[in-house]
Amino acid sequence: MNTNTSTITTAAAATAPETVAETASEAAIAIESEHAAHNYHPLPVVVASGEGAWVTDVEGRRYLDCLAAYSAVNFGHGNARLVEAAREQLGRITLTSRAFHNDRLGPFVTELAALCGKQMVLPMNTGAEAVESGIKVARAWGYRVKGVAADAANIVVMAGNFHGRTTTIVSFSDDPDARTDFGPFTPGFRTVPYGDAAALETAIDENTVAVLLEPIQGEAGIVVPPPGYLPAVRGICTDRNVLMIADEIQSGLGRVGATFACDLVGVVPDLYLLGKALGGGIVPVSAVVGDRDVLGVLQPGEHGSTFGGNPLAAAVGLEVVRMLATGEPQQRARELGAHLHERLLALLGRGVVAVRGAGLWAGIDIDPALASGREVCEALMRRGVLAKDTHGSTIRLAPPIVVEQADLDWAVEQLEAVLGEFAVRE
């Protein structure tokens, strides 16, 4: 446990300065608001540094990071192994483009493929790029292997999905914030209810090339599917000669107490979509991982990225893979996650109406009569805990896997105190 924990509540809850002078945080936020596009609505905290599960703002206040950049910082801020891997590579070479080979890419894709139990890796940069790449691969596979007629391929997706915000991806989103005023939309997608295997099977026809889903829906509020759902999806895809594509960008690489959320139910998809934690919180790294009979459909010139597979990204990603190969991060997330969920479940009926999740990943539904998710996150911020709301009354907790158990307990105590404050207000 961080020895300064006892002082954090006081520091984070300190009242605003009595003078009207602009604080360092206010000044930084004003500059950003003036010149950065307003495509986010962040909490009013300005982070300047971080170590492990903790971050410090520009005024020296410290906070427990319970978001971990949506799983991108699974291994903690400033992880020594990952920083050293990056530093060593920075002194050698950072970018060549795929016009040439580099000496880091081969080891990275070899060991990542082995971690996934697959044969091939398509390296990209962001999670959305991995999803877009998976869609292209599935369509090419459908035309070149399955024999679907030209331009007739369709992909079945899930209601409540979140796979990114590119034009094609928002074409099959049901989030109005992601869709409104961004049409016309890309055709070729069919949406079915998440968790409904019968609806999925009905939606598949002879032109269906893939089923794309999150094994646990993150942005929707850490929604865990019904028992047996993912195995049923796997069986349907196999029987109907359709690719199963698992978007493990948030759920994968240790977050849920296993390497992948699919591992929790013994399911192996045809393609894994990976990102976020693959870059260790240092550089953007993503990948599509599958076997040669699927990824092998791509030919030179058909897909690419200037930065995809660059030496710096490959060096950091390789160290991430080697950390996960030990199984230690997964075990830690599993054990700490069990403790976290036990503590959160004790809040049911005390301002909390539902708790979902797996490993160190929790979706907490706040009683909407008590407060909104945003209000709870703002109150937590004032107490030194950083979390993120979604869909009105839900908050998400996803601390770095390196977090200490005592710090988790402290965070839950702050949540309990916040809920108590709102209850008194009511």
Mark whether 100 is an active-site residue: no
Pairing verdict, β 54-57 and 62-65: antiparallel
Mark whether 276 is an active-site residue: yes
Mark whether 162 is an active-site residue: yes
| CATH (residue range 5-72+329-425) | 3.90.1150.10
Render pLDDT for 368-425 as a digit per residue (tens, 0 to 9): 999 999 999 999 999 999 999 999 999 999 999 999 999 999 999 999 999 999 998 8
**Quick one: which of 282, 281, 273, 227 has its CA closest to 251?**
273
- What tokens does 215 get? 């094994």
**Quick one: which of 253, 174, 286 has its CA closest to 219?**
174
Q: Is 105 exposed, middle or buried (0-12, 13-18, 19+ CB in 10 A)?
A: buried
For range 167-171, the mean pLDDT = 98
Contact call for residues 73 and 85 (beta carbons, < 8 A): no
**3-class SS of residue 395:** strand
Catalytic residue among 57, 75, 118, 162: 162
Render pLDDT for 317-346 as a digit per residue (tens, 0 to 9): 999 999 999 999 999 999 999 999 999 999
pTM of the full structure: 0.94
- What tokens does 381 get? 């911020």
| CATH (residue range 80-326) | 3.40.640.10
Least confident of 18-32, 55-69, 82-96, 260-274: 18-32
Residue positions counted in the chain: 426
Catalytic residue among 118, 276, 365, 422: 276
Give all strands of the β-sheet with 271-274 in edge-to-edge order. Answer: 120-124, 286-290, 271-274, 243-247, 208-213, 154-158, 189-192
Contacts 24+ apart (CB under 8 A), 411-417: 411/64, 411/66, 411/385, 412/340, 412/343, 412/344, 412/347, 414/9, 414/380, 414/383, 414/384, 414/385, 415/344, 415/347, 415/364, 415/376, 415/380, 415/385, 416/347, 416/350, 417/383
Contact call for residues 265 and 226 (beta carbons, < 8 A): no
Residue spans per domain, the chain = 5-72+329-425, 80-326
Catalytic residue among 75, 118, 189, 247: 247
